Amino acid sequence: MNSSIVYLVGAGPGDPKLITLKGLECIKKADVLVYDRLVNSQLLSYVRPDAELIFVGKSPDRHALSQEKINEVLVNKAKTGKIVTRLKGGDPFVFGRGGEEAESLFNNGIPFEIIPGITSAVAVPAYAGIPVTHRNLTSSFNVITGHEDPAKDISSINFDKLAPGSGTLIFLMGMGNLSLIVDRLVEHGRPSDTPIALIHRGTTPEQKILVGELGNIVAKAEEANLKPPSVIVVGEVVKLRDKLKWFEKKPLFGKRILVTRSREQASILSEKIIDLGGEPFEFPTIKIVPPDDYSKVDTAIEKINQYEWIIFTSINGVQHFFKRLRYLNKDIRQLIGIKLCAIGCKTKEELESSGLIVDYTPGEYRAEAIVEGFKNENVSGKRILLPRADIAREVLSQELKEMGAFVDDIAMYKTIPGDVNVGFLKELLQNKMIDIITFTSSSTVRNLVEMLDSKDLTKLLDGVCAASIGPVTTAAAQEFRIKVDIEASEYTIDGLLKAILEKTERENHND
């Protein structure tokens, strides 16, 4: 049975969360993903590792592939029995040339489905605080292409009918013809003082909005050097923006934040940044991998009932410990009678998710606080297991040994440099496109410095705000003469974000 099919999917206007559930399903099951320039790259992370990705992006000045070639790609890939997902910005049937692609598939006997997307014609104005209709202002809107087929002899846009009306006019792909659009509207009866808004990269943290009137918007756009992609909104509804704008009010709106955590953990911080209006750039400077040799780990697990305490210093330690426990065909019943200590509320939660009760969590989330707490516990002669990273600080192990404990400090996992595009990172820093760098451990600091390998690190990081998760990480940054502007008082991701928000709020208040 031939299972080939082509899904023509609308990816939405830019915010990756605005894709439909069905659209996301089609991305996940695709054998081949054919995608456009305006598709948010975060959506590509849902593609199967073995899927083929084909970029066919178009821009005003160049096309990766012509429309005819794109049609051929869809047909040819489907004929090999593949599930093909054609991912298009916005909605495939709103100036997305989805109709042409569907016709080509039909003519070649290829089954297809249309998965509508949220069109930028409605979503982008909404993110700018501009409703396309309003009961007291207008009950209609028109969506018009701002970029007609250049081969056409006569325009199919009836400005003589559009201009005199009271409905909202929304032009897509029109920045290159802004002057012409404005002239035609005024020429055919739309007053020159009619409100107009230009919305650049709407629904994303890069969103910029320019408001004016038909009579002055061209000069304003030239002065602001506003570029495509931008949505043009014409009508009285633009006046509601001052009351209804909401997206730009998010506390981290417009902030570009470098996330240096491991790839597995980066998404947690990135999601929170996005929710707060910021734009995360993920550059995992560290990668969490299994140890080179499990012999010490396995020996510790085989004699696990000899330990009085197990101290977990991170979520990674918990996850790798229990993964190995299961591999050795054991479970939490092996931990009967053993007391558990966890550094940090998230590490504690990870243990509790397995049905375990944590006996001790220090108020301050670092090794020194554990030592202080254990001074009230008679650990002399007791065995303590420390399953943690291979590069963890030795202070905890040493202090416990000085208190008379027998400590098995074993590498539960390794921290190695992550796989990142260093050239792109340097380009971002040199062009001053990063506002904040987050450091969540000493290793994220050290690895970033090694990756940048810059003779003038201070100059490269000039103007960038460094945010540290706690004093140990701060000390590592200071070793490399990196000025730390933000330090979390609670050594967690939420604590780090709270500290960033507090500083941002102070800056906005001073402005």
Q: Are strands 141-145 and 112-115 parallel, antiparallel or unpaired?
A: unpaired
Closest by CA to 335, choosing from 360, 308, 312, 314, is: 308
Start-to-end CA distance of the chain, whole Å, equals 65
Q: How far apart are CA 341 and CA 419, in angstroms?
A: 33
CA dist 365 → 194, 405, 463 (Å): 58, 21, 30
Closest by CA to 313, choosing from 264, 386, 373, is: 386
Closest by CA to 93, choosing from 67, 115, 69, 65, is: 115
Question: Which letter does DSSP use for residue 450 in this model?
Answer: H
Contact 214, 190 (CB under 8 A): yes
**Strand blocks (E) in 380-507:** 383-389, 406-417, 436-439, 465-468, 484-487
15, 31, 36, 91: which is the annotated catalytic residue? 36
User: Burial, 416: exposed, middle or buried (Cβ in 10 Å; 0-12, 13-18, 19+)?
Assistant: middle
Q: Are strands 484-487 and 465-468 parallel, antiparallel or unpaired?
A: parallel
Order of strands, sheet of 208-213, starting from the edge strand that comes earlier in the sequence: 141-145, 168-172, 230-234, 195-200, 208-213
Closest by CA to 372, choosing from 350, 338, 341, is: 341
For residue 284, cis peptide bond before it (omega within 30 degrees of 0)? no
> Please, what's the b/e burial string for 364-376 (b: 16 or more CB within 10 A of its CB; e: otherwise)?
bbbbebbbeebee
Known catalytic membership, residue 36: yes
31, 88, 91, 173: which is the annotated catalytic residue? 173
> Please, what's the b/e burial string for 172-190 (b: 16 or more CB within 10 A of its CB; e: otherwise)?
bbbbebbeebbebbbeeeb
CA dist 90 → 22, 116, 125, 412 (Å): 15, 8, 13, 46
Q: How far apart are CA 167 and CA 388, in angstroms?
A: 64
Q: How far apart are CA 371 and CA 510, in angstroms?
A: 41
Known catalytic membership, residue 173: yes
Known catalytic membership, residue 451: no
Contact 355, 332 (CB under 8 A): yes
Catalytic residue list: 36, 58, 173
